[in-house]
């Protein structure tokens, strides 16, 4: 079946531009997660949704980062006024249920390069 889909696969932005990254979770999955992965590092948690509610945004690095999931399905991660330190792979994951016994399934990410 279809997995988690992310678009675009690659994004190049000039410093100061705004970007929007899209995540299509697995159909019917209640929970959705965003992660940031710098080169050579493990993924780091950014934020989490259960349906349309954003229940945890403790990992968002600054107020330039904003995520939404208005209808409880597709999610968008927006980064305003991009900086070079925002260059990373942004991963989205979904989970059938928001419990610790329900595995997360990841997409292949969007690689963002800020020049």
Partner 1 sequence: DAKTTQPPSMDCAEGRAANLPCNHSTISGNEYVYWYRQIHSQGPQYIIHGLKNNETNEMASLIITEDRKSSTLILPHATLRDTAVYYCIVRAPNQGGKLIFGQGTELSVKP
* Residues engaged in binding partner 1 (CB under 8 A): 4, 31, 33, 35, 41-45, 48, 50, 55-56, 91, 93, 95, 98-109
C-alpha of 48 from chain center: 9
In the bound state with partner 1, the residue whose beta carbon lies nearer, of 12 and 55, is 55
In the bound state with partner 1, the residue whose beta carbon lies nearer, of 9 and 81, is 9
C-alpha of 113 from chain center: 15
Question: How near is the Cβ of 98 to partner 1 at its closest, in Å?
Answer: 5
Question: How near is the Cβ of 77 to partner 1 at its closest, in Å?
Answer: 15
In the bound state with partner 1, the residue whose beta carbon lies nearer, of 15 and 97, is 97
In the bound state with partner 1, the residue whose beta carbon lies nearer, of 19 and 91, is 91
Question: How near is the Cβ of 1 to partner 1 at its closest, in Å?
Answer: 14
| Rounded CA separation 83/30 (Å) | 32
Other beta carbons less than 10 A from residue 16's beta carbon: 10
């Amino acid at each position: 079946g279809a997995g988690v889909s992310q678009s675009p696969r690659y994004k190049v932005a000039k410093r100061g531009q705004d970007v929007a990254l899209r995540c299509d979770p697995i159909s019917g999955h209640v929970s959705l997660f965003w992660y940031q992965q710098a080169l050579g590092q493990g993924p780091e948690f950014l934020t989490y949704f259960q349906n349309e509610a954003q229940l945890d945004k403790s990992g968002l690095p600054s107020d330039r980062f904003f995520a939404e999931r208005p209808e409880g399905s597709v999610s968008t991660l927006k980064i305003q006024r991009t900086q070079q330190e925002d260059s990373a792979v942004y991963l989205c994951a979904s989970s059938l249920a928001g419990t610790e016994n329900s595995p997360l399934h990841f997409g292949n990410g969007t690689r963002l390069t800020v020049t």
